[in-house]
Amino acid sequence: MSSEDILQQLKETYLISLPNQLVEMESYILAMEDDNQYQENFEALYRKAHSLKGSGGTYGFTIITSICHQMEDYISDSLQEYNTAPPNAFDNIFKFIDILKDAHALLNNKDEDFKDIEERLRQLKGNVLPEEINGLLVGSTNNMYSQICMQVFKQANAHCTVIESGVGALQRLLHEHFDFVITSRENIDLNGLALIAAFKLNQKSNHKLKTILTTSNISSHPCKEIGPDFVVLKNKSFDINLLEVIEGIKKSR
C-alpha cells in the first residue's frame, strides 16, 4: 500500500468517526449543564475540539480546522474562568457543532463549496463577540513584541486570536472573519510579507480586513496592492502607534 493510499484511508476513517466524536462533545456539554463534574467535562470538551482541529489540518480538511479553531477559542473564553457557564454559552457551542455537522455532510459528498458554512461561521462569531473587534496575531507568544501586541489588544477591547504558523494564519484568514491581522516579517513557514500578499491575491474572503506589518526596517515593501495596509515600526513608540492603528480600524468599521 502506497503512502497516498494510507493517507486516503486515514482521511476516510476521520470522516467516518467525526459524527461519533461530535456526539461525545454534546454529551460533555449536557453534563456541564447539569453541573456534573464541570471542570472535568470542560477539559474533555476543549481537548476534543483541539484534537479535531489538529486532525482536520493534518488531513487537509481546512474548513473543519477553521470551525474548531473558533469553537476552541469560544470554549476557552466563555467557560474556562467560570464554575458555571454564562447565559447562552452552551447554546452557542451547540451551534458550532451544528456547523461542523453540515461541513461534514459536504465533505462526505465531496462538495467543497463552503461559502454558506463560512458565512454562518462569520455570523456566529459576530453574535458571540458582538462588542469586540476581532484580530489575528501571527507569532510566538514568547516573543516580546507579540506580548506587547496582546496587551494592546486588551487596551483596544479587541479579541485576540494567536497563531504561530504563517500557513496556518493564511488558512484561517481564508475561512474565518477577522477585522485585522498583525504579522511580523519572520513567521514559521510563511513570512509576513508573503502571508499578506498571498491573502490579498486570493481575494476569497475578508476583503475589508486590514493588514498590519510590524517591522524594524521600513525601507523596502511591495506595491500597495499586495503590501500591508499599515506598517508599525518596532521602536519605543511601538505600543502607542499600534494602538492608534487599531483604534482607527475600529472607527472605520
Output the pLDDT for position 189.
Answer: 85
Return the pLDDT at 45.
92
Residue 129: pLDDT above 70?
A: no
Based on the fold, state whether residues 187 and 215 are members of the same structural domain.
Answer: yes
How far, CA to CA in Å, does 109 sit from each of 89, 101, 119? 31, 13, 20
Cα diameter, the chain: 59
**Same domain assignment for residues 173 and 210:** yes
pLDDT for 126 equals: 76
Residue 119 sits in the same domain as residue 208: no
CATH of the domain at 97: 1.20.120.160
Q: Nearest to residue 230, comparing CAs of 160, 159, 162, 179?
A: 179
Indicate whether 207 pLDDT > 70: no
Most confident stretch, 7-16, 22-31, 137-146: 22-31
- CA dihedral of 243, 244, 245, 249, whole degrees rounded to 10: 100
SS3 content of the chain, % helix, strand, coil (to 5): 60, 10, 30
What's the mean pLDDT in 231-250?
92
Are 91 and 148 members of one domain?
no
Q: What is the pLDDT of residue 211?
A: 93
Mean pLDDT of 94-108: 95
User: Do residue 109 and residue 154 come from a single domain?
Assistant: no
Output the pLDDT for position 57.
Answer: 81
Do 67 and 162 lie in one domain? The reply is no
Q: How confident is the model at residue 85 (pLDDT cuts 50, 70, 90)?
A: low
pLDDT given for residue 214 in this prediction: 92
Same domain, 38 and 123: yes
pLDDT for position 130: 59
The CATH number of the domain holding residue 179 is: 3.40.50.2300
Residues 121 and 24 in one domain: yes
Count other Cβ atoms within 10 Å, centred on residue 165: 17
My answer on whether 137 and 237 are in the same domain is yes
| Type of residue at 85 | A
Query: How many domains, in total, are found in the chain?
Result: 2
Q: Identify the domain boundary among 127, 146, 177.
A: 127
C-alpha cell read off for 38? 464541570
User: Which residue, of 94, 127, 160, is where some domain finishes?
Assistant: 127
CA distance 103 to 32: 25
Average pLDDT over every residue of 48-71:
88
Range(s) of the domain holding residue 154: 132-252
**How much is the pTM?**
0.66
